[in-house]
Amino acid sequence: MTVIEERSYIEAARREKLAALIERGIAPFGYRFERSHSAQEALEAYEEDGVEVSVSTAGRIVSMRPHGKATFVHIGDRSGKIQLYFRRDVLGDDGYELLKLFDLSDFIGVRGSLFRTRTQEVTIKVEEFQLLTKALRPLPFGKEDAEGEQHGGLTDPEMRYRQRYVDLAVHADVREVFILRAQVVRLIRQFFDGRGFIEVETPILQPIYGGAAASPFVTNHRALDTRLYLRIADELYLKRCIVGGLDRVYEIGHDFRNEGIDRLHFPEFTMLEFYQAYADYNDMMDVLEELISGIVEQVCGSLRIERFGKTFDFTRPWRRAGFVDLVRQHSGVDLATAEDGELRQRLRDRGEEAVDEWPRTKLIDEMFKTFVEPSLVQPTIVQDHPIEISPLAKPKRGNPRLAERFELLVNGHELANAFSELNDPDDQRRRFEEQAAAREAGDDEAHQIDEDFIRALEYGMPPTGGLGLGIDRLIMLLANRKSIRDVILFPTMRPKT
């Protein structure tokens, strides 16, 4: 029998049981059930002195072991698992026989009293039970060893991403990733709300995209008969809020970039962006250190955490180093004097091939990614980038060839990007025009000219510090996950042919 034939046989058997339940007048898809305890709460409610404790709980059947006139069942919910004990002499013949129409993955509700078995497992002695949902497909539960580790089951990575609901149902550790994610987002909101920031929502559909170097997704609004883009960043609208007098704003939202997919990049991702009037990039460094260190300590219980076989120390202050200095240290190239040809040759020497058409901005960026990023394991603030790769940042005081910009790198990957925000509308126009020229030269990711944003700056934007933080990459680090798809609930997949 093939796998498909076996699956069809199993599903047909479940539908036969469904028909038998309906014939007996038993509703196979219930409406509600009053729970007094979750599985974990029921375990904790047991009292050693033998006082009877009655509970009602519900969950999905994850194991069934019939033994003649008794059956042991484990059900699971978000909090964990608990054992149920069904006895024929308690439930009666009809009630006990009904268990034969139940399967793994069904949802049931039970009421009964707690006791401890001879193997010392806290168990519910079932006095009443109710079918809540008949599962017409079996979940691929693996075998569990004595230590509680799962073996087998759902192991195909592609299937786990395509059917995340199954992945969540059978893997408690996957559920924990997304519980952790929700906790981190909640802590971020508490951090900024407690410091006088206002959470805002800016447009996802935009007539001109900007705020990052990326290719957009394009759509058309029929009623307005106009082309729109899914936003690639929140930045330009959040800075419009600063112009309008909202001095401290933040947004946690989805951004979209029409780019390749790898373990660190995905076309749909979540960013935190925040902007603070009367601040600069030095202030942003301090805020970021306080935010991330606080989250790490609250979530992990320590500022030193073990992930990916390494120890990361988030104790403040973090290392700070200059972008140009790091490139010189790791490649021997001085970006202040190196010609484009030298940069191309150094990249060719490291295996890059399609460098001839790259503009200088991309050459500089790739020099850093190739020679520097892999060495930055501990939290490191890399500051003072070349001005030509920072079109939205103010020139560095004392050295206008550099920008007041920094990135946070951990484990060789960028987590955050921040600026002393450019607020000179004439300088901003010149930067946009340089970006437009780069687009004409073949750089599809260069900025467009946003006339409305320049107009906003002409009304006056106070000195402002701004920062963007990748939520997904932060969760990857905290959850010890190597692929961004492991921390996105329902990642987009190539359609099956």
Tell me, yes or no, whether 304 and 188 share the same domain.
yes
Same domain, 280 and 415: yes
| pTM, entire model | 0.92
Does 142 score more than 90 pLDDT? no
The verdict on 61 and 127 lying in the same domain is yes
User: Are 119 and 263 within one domain?
Assistant: no
What tens digit of pLDDT does each residue of 54-96 get?
999 999 999 999 998 999 999 999 999 999 999 999 999 999 9
Q: Are residues 31 and 95 in the same domain?
A: yes
**Are 122 and 226 found together in one domain?**
no
Helix (H, G, I), strand (E, B) or coil at 106: coil
CA atoms within 13 A on the CB side of 365: 14
In whole angstroms, what is the distance from residue 132 CA to residue 129 CA? 9
Closest residue by Cα to residue 127 from 110, 114, 115: 110
Distance in Å from the first CA to the final CA of the chain:
25
For residue 435, give its domain range: 174-318+378-486
Other beta carbons within 10 Å of 208: 16
Q: Tokens at residue 245, please?
A: 């007098």
User: For residue 402, what is the enclosing H or E element?
Assistant: strand 399-403
Average pLDDT, the chain: 93
Question: Do 19 and 90 lie in a common domain?
Answer: yes
Q: Please report, as a single letter, which amino acid is at residue 78.
A: R
Same-domain pairing of 129 and 224: no
Same domain? For 101 and 211 the reply is no
Both structure tokens of 449? 């000219």
DSSP labels, 292-303: HHHHHHHHHSSS
The whole-number pLDDT of residue 151 equals 59
**pLDDT one-digit tens code per residue, 396-453:** 999 999 999 999 999 999 999 999 999 999 999 998 888 888 777 777 777 788 999 9
Q: Which token pair is 105? A: 């993955």
Residue 123 lies in a domain: yes
The CATH number for 178's domain is 3.30.930.10
Q: Can you list the pairs that 297-303 forms with residues at least 24 positions away whose Cβ atoms lie under 8 Å?
A: 298/187, 299/180, 299/183, 299/184, 299/187, 299/478, 300/478
pLDDT of 382 higher than 90: yes
Q: In total, how many domains does the chain have? A: 2
H or E element that contains 141: none
Q: Within a 10 A sphere around the Cβ of 320, how many other Cβ atoms?
A: 12
Query: Could you tell me where the beta strands, DSSP code E, fall in 47-185?
Result: 54-67, 70-77, 80-87, 107-116, 122-133, 143-144, 150-151
Same domain, 133 and 231: no
* Domain closes at, from 118, 138, 158: 138
